[in-house]
Amino acid sequence: MTQKTGFDLLKEKVPEFRNPLKMVVVVAVGLLIFLGVMTFFWWLDGLVRYGALISQLIVALIFSAFSYGHIKFAGKYKRNTEDWHIGTSSSISSCRCS
């Protein structure tokens, strides 16, 4: 049996990517959010003299909060992925690959 990779694996794990219409909506919403954020930063950069520094500070704070949240809640998900540590010989023998 061959191992699924790339988009086939994504379609298997995320139900929204199985339906082409839902996939288009998800990608369109992501693109609109990205364009909205970029437009806000473009507007902020031109608004004040140090707008670029302010927008970089905003991005750094958002990603720091995002990273902190992932680090804080990593223990909840660690028990679900204990068998999937890459690089150990025990993970290869206990892998539940289908």
Other CB atoms within a 10 A radius of the CB of residue 67 amount to 10
67 assigned to some structural domain: yes
27 domain residue, yes or no: yes
Instruction: Tell me if 30 is assigned to some domain.
Output: yes
The answer to whether position 63 is within a domain reads yes
Sorted by sequence, the CB contacts under 8 Å of residue 10 that are 6+ apart come out as: 17
Domain containing 35 equals 7-72
Please report whether residue 96 resides in a domain: no
Task: Supply the DSSP symbol for 4.
Answer: P
Q: Are 45 and 52 in contact (CB under 8 A)?
A: yes
| 64 domain-assigned | yes
> Is there a domain that residue 53 lies in?
yes
Domain count, the chain: 1
> Kindly report the CA angle at 9 between 70 and 3, in degrees rounded to 5?
120
Q: Is residue 81 part of a domain?
A: no
From first to last of the 98 residues of the chain, give the pLDDT tens digit. Answer: 577 778 788 888 888 888 889 989 999 999 999 999 899 989 988 888 898 899 999 999 999 999 999 888 887 766 655 555 555 444 444 555 54
DSSP string, 6-32: THHHHHHH-GGGTSHHHHHHHHHHHHH
